[in-house]
A and B are shown apart, each in its own frame.
Chain A
Amino acid sequence: SAVISQKPSRDICQRGTSLTIQCQVDSQVTMMFWYRQQPGQSLTLIATANQGSEATYESGFVIDKFPISRPNLTFSTLTVSNMSPEDSSIYLCSARTGTANSPLHFGNGTRLTVT
């Protein structure tokens, strides 16, 4: 199974600043996604990170606020821009290899606190 490394694992940021989260997979994967988990809540899909093209965002999420890059099949970044306290969440990267019945694996998450 794919091993997914995220960094930073946690950060405390001031409002109005931006944070870029990196996601590295140890093998080439076909699909990468970014999720948000607000405190005490379930996971919500932010976007699909597309290799070599613009990410596909879910309803309620926009590129200006959450720009995503995916320059190759093993790496992606998510930026949380112009942060406010409402952005305090766990942000999780997930990926799936192309093999049949392979599950969707998650990184350990980035715990973000905005003050």
Chain B
Amino acid sequence: AQKITQTQPGMFVQEKEAVTLDCTYDTSDPSYGLFWYKQPSSGEMIFLIYQGSYDQQNATEGRYSLNFQKARKSANLVISASQLGDSAMYFCGGGSNYKLTFGKGTLLTVNP
């Protein structure tokens, strides 16, 4: 089973600046995936980015990038050029065969 740790209950960032949300994982599985989701106050889970354990390069999706450091077992999400609409809960999830364990989440607030 995978354990996911998000140590930042809340983060603040100024609009147009970059922010990094931390995520560490612990697993004994040789093959696994790491995901980031955004959950606005409306409650839906919006997929942002995925990193497979065997992927050689860090994943990027538009303003989102994943800083994957396998030796440190970290998969931090970097949001560049923050927008007011980025204010939401962010969950890191990981697991094998897509059975995901999620961290406790980070509440990101973007200030104008």
Contact = CB atoms under 8 A, between A and B. Distances in A.
Interface of A: 1, 31, 33, 41-45, 48, 90, 92, 94, 96, 101, 103-109, 111
Secondary structure call for the A interface = strand
B97 interface: yes
Contacts of B104: 41-42
B44 A109 contact: yes
A41 B52 CA distance: 26
B102 A104 contact: no
Interface string B46-80: 01001010000000000000000000000000000
Contact of B50 (A92, A101, A108): A101
B50 A90 contact: no
Interface string B76-112: 0000000000000001010001111111110000000
Contacts, number: 48
Interface of B: 35, 37, 43-45, 47, 50, 52, 91, 93, 97-105
A105 B47 contact: yes
A45 B35 CA distance: 15
A1 B35 CA distance: 16
Nearest to B43: A109
